Amino acid sequence: MMENNTFNPLLDKDIGMIENETTRKIALCALEAARESLSRNEKKPSDFVSNRLNSQLTKIVKGKA
């Protein structure tokens, strides 16, 4: 997991306050993937996020289906 940048504590706090656990986990997963894509200087960062979500969704949404 990438270390959270502390310039925006409000942002992480806001996401941490999402009540629904599944929604919160997906939002965090997307944000972490986005940070990683920027750090890696990915050419298509949103594709990177989508792929990461795709690999994590089954685990996160387990039991929902």
Q: Could you list the residues that contact other proteins (CB under 8 A)?
A: 2-3, 5, 7-8, 10-11, 14-15, 18, 20, 22-24, 26-27, 30-31, 33-35, 37-39, 41, 45-50, 52-54, 57-58, 60-61, 64-65
Residues 60 and 29: beta-carbon distance below 8 Å: yes
Reference 29, options 58, 56, 8; nearest CA is 56
Q: Is 63 exposed, middle or buried (0-12, 13-18, 19+ CB in 10 A)?
A: exposed
Nearest approach in angstroms of CB 19 to other proteins is 9
Nearest approach in angstroms of CB 65 to other proteins is 4
Nearest approach in angstroms of CB 59 to other proteins is 11
